[in-house]
Amino acid sequence: MQRSRMDAQPLPLAGIRVVEFTHMVMGPTCGMVLADLGAEVIKVEPLAGDNTRRLLGSGAGFFGLFNRNKKSLAVDVKDTRGREIVLRLLAQADVFSENFKPGTMDKLGFGTAALAALNPRLVCVSHKGFLPGPYEHRTALDEVVQMMGGLAYMTGPEGRPLRAGSSVNDIMGGMFGAIGVLAALMQRERTGRGQPVQTALFENNVLLVAQHMLQFAVTGQPAAPMPSRISAWALYDVFTVKDGEQIFLAAVSDSQWAQLCQAFDFSDLRADPRLATNNDRVQAREWLLPLLRERFAPYAAAELAARFEAAGLPYAAITRPHELFDDPHLVATGGLAPVTLPPDASGAGRPVTTQMPLLPLTIGGERPGLRLPPPAIGEHTQALLRELGYDDAQIATLLREGVIGGEAPPA
């Protein structure tokens, strides 16, 4: 487990207790951020565990990543005794987080009004498909809102809308949920009361494409999809070079263009009056890019990278996600934390030892680290019940009668 200077002092959210009813990505991301920053996050799961634990394919990494640094309470909340356990937790919690369909929490007795009466200091954050309005009862997925919110149109080529290659709205929606929680906790310091917070996939997506909306407002021209856009810079593209390798190369200012021409001895291009300014070069892309592709083609990608690095120019290898485990920067800076996923949290039915990326920020010069691996189903149930005042006999009865999950208490 990664250790850092942060281990020697309280993390920013130490002492904050979060109870979450979440699954998939959006809600768990919110809890992951709060947990990484030091909050005690208790994940309430059904006795069989969160269904996300059993996803295959592109979902196989969901549970392990987004549920680190959390505790698991396995309980049947349809049983009155199970609901009582959760209500006891919420009576002393700071945050309640959920991302189920509208009305689900009300049916279980965990609606915002009921919880405000139970614990006026409680901050309740809901992660939904849409904020309240005409769409709020529609079923949303990341892909749904990418299609209806313009992002898929901008990502794919003309006539072929394409979702982004990651759960961008789910992850960012969870991040905005965490931001809302932090704001509500600060407000509580002044008012003494919690308040509801809500974040939504669709509205998150609209923020992602807002730059293109404003582009239309400013220019009067609809934004073109990324593959056919009019770039703001002349050199800003992927190049296929020696042995079929690919590399992204860019020069986004007049000074960078001059550095490029010097690094590759393109004195003819540097002196060409048709290429004097960035806007001139954008206008010349139709003939300039094919010429640059021809000149770069004999180089190996590594040689181009070395020259661009030496000149301080932007470049990037075309990297696949699994190759990031060996990224020298991540390895050197401690950006990956070693972790062992328990069998029911790995998606593989067996323990998996791997590494996972930490939050992309530092506090006091340190990355908030990994304190707890993703929990097994109900791993912390008995310890939490003891904190709430349940004795071993009561726990044994609840376990025997199928109200909670986990191993039997010691005799």
Task: State whether 262 and 367 are in the same domain.
Answer: no
- Quick check: 291 and 235 in contact, CB under 8 A? no
Q: Is the pLDDT of residue 281 over 90?
A: yes
Whether 410 maps to a domain, the answer reads no
pLDDT band at residue 218, thresholds of 50, 70 and 90? very high
Whether 256 maps to a domain, the answer reads yes
What is the CA angle 89-90-92, rounded to 5?
75
pLDDT of residue 50: 94
Q: Give the domain-ending residue among 299, 317, 335.
A: 317
Mean pLDDT in residue range 150-178: 96
Expressed as residue numbers, the domain containing 374 is 5-209+327-400
pLDDT of residue 6: 43
**Could you give the CA distance from residue 48 to residue 249 in angstroms, rounded to a whole number?**
49
Mean pLDDT in residue range 216-239: 89
Backbone angles phi, psi at 67, to 5 degrees: -125, 20
Task: State whether 109 and 37 are in the same domain.
Answer: yes
Task: State whether 30 and 175 are in the same domain.
Answer: yes
What is the CA angle 145-150-156, rounded to 5?
105
Q: Is the pLDDT of residue 409 over 60?
A: no
CATH number at residue 282: 3.30.1540.10
Whether 411 maps to a domain, the answer reads no
Q: What is the DSSP string of 185-234?
A: HHHHHHHS---EEEEEHHHHHHHHTHHHHHHHHHHSSPPPPGGG---SSS
- Rounded to 5, what percent of the chain is helix, strand, coil? 45, 15, 40
Task: State whether 72 and 157 are in the same domain.
Answer: yes
pLDDT of residue 86: 98
Whether 227 maps to a domain, the answer reads no
- Quick check: 76 and 82 in contact, CB under 8 A? yes
Task: State whether 193 and 279 are in the same domain.
Answer: no
Q: Is the dihedral of CA 129, 130, 131, 134 positive or negative?
A: negative
Q: Give the domain-ending residue among 255, 284, 317.
A: 317
Q: What is the mean pLDDT of the chain?
A: 94
**Could you give the CA distance from residue 22 to residue 307 in angstroms, rounded to a whole number?**
48
Task: State whether 266 and 371 are in the same domain.
Answer: no
- Quick check: 141 and 113 in contact, CB under 8 A? no
Whether 221 maps to a domain, the answer reads no
- Least confident window among 30-39, 125-134, 229-238: 229-238
Whether 408 maps to a domain, the answer reads no
Q: Is the pLDDT of residue 174 over 50?
A: yes
**Could you give the CA distance from residue 169 to residue 152 in angstroms, rounded to a whole number?**
12
Q: Give the domain-ending residue among 294, 317, 340.
A: 317
> Which three-class secondary structure state does DSSP give residue 316?
strand
Q: Is the pLDDT of residue 159 over 50?
A: yes
CATH number at residue 123: 3.40.50.10540
Q: What percent of the chain is predicted at pLDDT more than 70?
A: 96
Task: State whether 61 and 177 are in the same domain.
Answer: yes
Looking at the chain, how many residues does it have?
A: 411
Task: State whether 201 and 54 are in the same domain.
Answer: yes
* Number of domains into which the chain is organized: 2
Q: Which residues have C-beta within 8 Å of that of residue 402, sequence separation ≥ 6?
A: 47, 76, 79
**Could you give the CA distance from residue 242 to residue 240 in angstroms, rounded to a whole number?**
7
Whether 43 maps to a domain, the answer reads yes
Whether 219 maps to a domain, the answer reads no
pLDDT band at residue 276, thresholds of 50, 70 and 90? very high
pLDDT of residue 347: 67
Q: Is the pLDDT of residue 410 over 80?
A: no
pLDDT of residue 65: 96
Predicted TM-score of the model (pTM): 0.93
Task: State whether 311 and 332 are in the same domain.
Answer: no
- Quick check: 238 and 304 in contact, CB under 8 A? no
pLDDT of residue 5: 43
Task: State whether 295 and 245 are in the same domain.
Answer: yes
Backbone angles phi, psi at 27, to 5 degrees: -65, -45
pLDDT band at residue 130, thresholds of 50, 70 and 90? very high
Q: What percent of the chain is predicted at pLDDT more than 90?
A: 89
Q: Is the dihedral of CA 332, 368, 167, 70 positive or negative?
A: positive
Task: State whether 114 and 20 are in the same domain.
Answer: yes
The total of other beta-carbon atoms located within 10 Å of residue 260's CB is: 21
**pLDDT per residue over 344-366, tens digit each?**
876 677 899 999 999 999 999 99
Task: State whether 251 and 171 are in the same domain.
Answer: no
